[in-house]
Structure 1
Amino acid sequence: MTRQKDLVGLDLGTSSVKAVHLQRSRNTYTLVELGIAPIHPETIVDGVIMDAATVSATIRQLLDEHNIGVKEVAFSVSGNSVICKKIKVPKMKKAELREGIAWEAGQHIPYSIEDVNLDFEILRETDPSDREMDVLLVAVKKDALNAYLAVISAAGLRAVVADVNAFAIENAFAMSRKAQLDEVVALVNIGAAVTNMNILHDGISDFTRDNSLGGNRYTESLQKSLGLSFEQAEALKRGEPVEGHSVADAMPVIEMTNGELTGAIRNSFIFYHSTSRSKTVHRVVLSGGCALLPGLAPYLSRALGLPVEIANPFQCIVADPKKFDSQYLASIAPQMTVAVGLALREPEDDAG
């Protein structure tokens, strides 16, 4: 009998590195350890690692500080290096599709097939009379993937699962799956530089998109409008007054950026409806570091005319209250969604 190997979910974000170590016992997950370490905004830009040495050192420091001794990790990528597309292909067995996926991908991907790593998932059972089936095609540029593998290796770790942010979020959501039959749920993960969207229909991914509008847009807009430093703008964004400026001073800028974000989400919904058999979205689940921005969830709910809830990936995970403060976990829960989703992966899982 082989014991399930432990895995650390490692989320290399634009503003921080996050790690989550879970232990599985039958159908229960227990939180063993977690940590967050901030990084300079120019260390990882648009999903591209600009300063590999700093990223490796931050990973190593984070794991040492929180006594995480597990060497095997799951990580994810997002942004311009990733393409996820739902395509239709002639009905065939999974093994046949694996052999022919490169040819199918060549019809849909703007990069040379030699420059990407490919994966796919057959989305749903088709009617026996159907001649085609829906397949989710995932392509990640090799140079971006190799850069992540290199920093993880330099930190003394071994990457055993490569994933995509949108699917890591889905994994965390599925653990506490509350999707109703025929329900369409939009999972929206607002990171510092990228917003990942994954729309699930009947609990199955129906549409994914990454948008380069994230929490940094609030910070940059506040810096320009009010002449603030990066640190001051970050504080105001979180609802903390800074010298010479109240939160009320920041509200016009924040409201304007809320409107931009709403527009980007709405445009994604419109595109989804044009390519899907579903013509509605029933609710939005918000995650990422920006999910807890003061007033954002109610604003989105009003603007989109939909219920908007904030993700808590820890709600179905056992956490020892003597070791983990429940208020602290609640305060960081949305931004840990990707890391939790990665920590739930099995070491033998394929990417995507």
Structure 2
Amino acid sequence: MIKVLLTDDSLLAREILKDIFRATSDILVVGEAVNGTEAVLMTERLNPDLIIMDLMMPVMDGLTAIEEIMARFPTPILVLSATLDDSEINNAFAAIKRGALDVMAKPGGEEINGTSGGFSATLIDKVRMLARIKVIRRRPSIRPKFIPNNTLPLPAGDRQVLAIGASTGGPQAVMSIVKSLPADFKATTFIVQHIASGFADGFAQWLNRECSISVRLAADGDEFKQGEVLVAPGNHHMIVSDGVIRLTQDKPVNCCRPSIDVLFKSLAMEQGARVVGVLLSGMGKDGAQGFIHIKERGGLTIAQDERSCAVFGMPKAAIAMNAVDLIVPLAGIPDTLSKIFHTTGDK
């Protein structure tokens, strides 16, 4: 049985969530907190498998509660965002930075009226997945030291494109990599991050605020240039053709749109050996087949290692298909990329 703690000052929101979980046989709401202070105390007392967290609450807000929980008794946290305006989305990604695993928008009118099962099914699947993830203690004042253990030789080549794919547990991992890129990074960087509908633009804005290099949401017809970081929009595949970005709404691949496989294959066909692919934390196998295309065209593929992944699904699938050149801990990927792209890492 999956034990869930609801944290939201809205009685209506909590009732909707409880109704959704009552329809399952494996998810049990073990507590309801109306502010962050209660959430911290109830997490310690109830030891839930997952916390569903609102952010805007009295007494102690969700961001503070997440930081406190992750420092004292780490627990998987799913953030439900009330709106998709800029301030709320900014808070949602601030929550991920503090240790939350994922974000979703709160149910709207259709869910309240019981006329749509889309939100319910998505939420149930996400709860089942996130509750299995083992999260680590976070102490914001302490930065762990990392000693690189990757001593494999890096294949030579003129690398011009960095392609990053990530899913569950990925936003913070993507941030750590993009934040390491110097402002004068010469390659073009493409990112596909599986994320809840409506959050892709906010994800790009979050990266742009936090990083030295310029990050933006990709647009159809854009000519991509060196030194840009381009994020795939929600509900669109991102491909490149003749030096131009194309966004399509072709059918999902690996149940995903945007799909990492679609981007990786497109870049492999267009850019060949100039591509360096990075596959990060996530469930499923999206990106593995794309890695094969990159390798076949002479590109380089890097997978995040199991120990540093929140979910070792996509990297594991790529490794099983012999599609990975280097397996690197997340903390070592920036240094590896610096060597590949011949950057100094100076900001």
Please give the TM-score of this superposition, normalised by the length of structure 2. Answer: 0.27
Please give the TM-score of this superposition, normalised by the length of structure 1. Answer: 0.27
Give 1 or 2: higher strand fraction: 1
Task: Give the number of the structure with larger relative contact order, counting CA–CA contacts within 8 Å between residues 6 or more apart.
Answer: 1
